[in-house]
């Protein structure tokens, strides 16, 4: 069975909206920690309406081993020198 790309994109968009409260809660939990480690990974992101990609960053956050709270946040800007969680 073939599923149209637009249907798949709509499903992903709905998931993103429904998961936003969880992302917000995770962000708040991470910001309460005294130590926060961050790492960025460059990933290609499709430009909407075009068949080309642009630079995007996936940020991984972790607290100390004692707490072990981890979060992953996308950042769609071209240049990212400061983690978007701050």
pLDDT score at 80: 47
d(C-alpha 58, C-alpha 86), whole Å = 15
pLDDT digits (tens, 9 = 90+) for 17-67: 999 998 888 888 888 888 888 888 888 888 778 888 888 888 888 887 665
pLDDT score at 68: 56
Evaluate whether 41 touches 73 at the Cβ level (below 8 Å).
Answer: no
Please return the burial class of 67, using the count of CB atoms within 10 Å of its CB with bins 0-12, 13-18 and 19+: middle
User: What pTM was estimated for this model as a whole?
Assistant: 0.59
Evaluate whether 84 touches 59 at the Cβ level (below 8 Å).
Answer: yes
């Amino acid at each position: 069975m073939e599923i149209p790309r637009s249907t798949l994109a709509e499903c992903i968009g709905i998931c993103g909206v429904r998961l936003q409260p969880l992302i917000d809660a995770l962000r708040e939990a991470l910001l309460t920690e005294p130590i926060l480690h961050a790492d960025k990974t460059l990933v290609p992101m499709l430009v909407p309406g075009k068949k080309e990609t642009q630079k995007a960053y996936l940020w991984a956050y972790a607290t100390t081993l004692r707490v072990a709270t981890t979060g992953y946040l996308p950042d769609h800007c071209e240049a990212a020198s400061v983690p978007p969680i701050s």
